[in-house]
């Protein structure tokens, strides 16, 4: 149970509130010209995304984690060397699809935040793909089980995640419906399913 600004003590309630608030923030950010102007593939942009999504919930929003974390049997980058690891990742090339996915995988291994890495990094990935290749991932076409398995294998073999995501590439980078449905898919990978983004989308109602 993470300490939060809202004083919520129940994990289920916190998950629901976090989903509602952060989805609304993501929907607003998508239309924000400031977001469009950010440099692609940098940690500062990833931190901007994370801070935007979670600043109303967690004090650590947009900040490097100071604790070691793991998932299953996999331990993410040590907090002690996290800044150096991220600086190295920032310098990786990002001019082709393969290079961009390599960079995405490396940032996932770093897992720079205490919570909310996956949701933030998928937005970061799309921002990078859009700026560099004029493409984004249509996440609603990416099967949850295949995605999670491919990401789990990616530190050893990046081919499965590259194949999976390349099949879901679209040139419809400014299609809000694709983004809204993709946001739900991204949250579904993390088992956040209490709210439909379309129901939270103020812009989409007008």
Q: Classify residue 22: in a domain, yes or no.
A: yes
**Alpha carbon distance 40, 85 (integer Å):** 18
What is the pairing mode between strands 169-170 and 136-137? antiparallel
Instruction: Give me the pLDDT at residue 69, please.
Output: 94
- pLDDT > 80? residue 147: yes
Domain that holds residue 186: 11-199
**Residue 93 gets which letter from DSSP?**
-
107-142 per-position pLDDT tens digit: 999 999 999 999 999 999 999 999 999 999 999 999
| In the predicted structure, residue 47 carries a pLDDT above the cut 90 | yes
Residue 5: inside a domain:
no
Residue 74, in any domain of the structure: yes
* Residue 206 covered by a domain: no
For 62-88, the pLDDT digits (tens) are 999 999 998 888 899 999 999 999 999
How many CB atoms neighbour CB 128 within 10 A?
23
């Amino acid at each position: 149970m993470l300490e939060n600004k809202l004083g919520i003590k129940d994990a289920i309630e916190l998950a629901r509130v976090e989903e509602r608030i952060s989805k609304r923030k993501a929907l607003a950010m998508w239309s924000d010209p400031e977001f469009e102007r950010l440099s692609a593939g940098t940690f500062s942009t990833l931190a901007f995304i994370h801070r935007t999504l979670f600043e109303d919930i967690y004090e650590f929003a947009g900040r490097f984690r100071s604790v070691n974390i793991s998932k299953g049997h996999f331990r993410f980058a040590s907090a002690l060397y996290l800044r150096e690891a991220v600086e190295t990742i920032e310098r990786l090339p990002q001019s082709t699809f393969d290079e961009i996915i390599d960079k995405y995988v490396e940032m996932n291994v770093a897992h720079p935040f205490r919570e909310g890495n996956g949701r933030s990094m998928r937005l970061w990935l799309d921002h990078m793909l859009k700026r560099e290749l004029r493409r984004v991932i249509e996440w609603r076409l990416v099967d949850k089980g295949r995605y999670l398995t491919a990401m789990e294998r990616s530190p050893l073999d990046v081919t499965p995640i590259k194949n999976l995501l390349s099949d879901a590439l679209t040139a419809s980078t400014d299609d809000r419906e694709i983004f809204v449905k993709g946001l739900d898919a991204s949250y579904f990978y993390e088992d956040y399913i209490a709210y439909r983004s379309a129901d939270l989308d103020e812009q989409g109602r007008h």
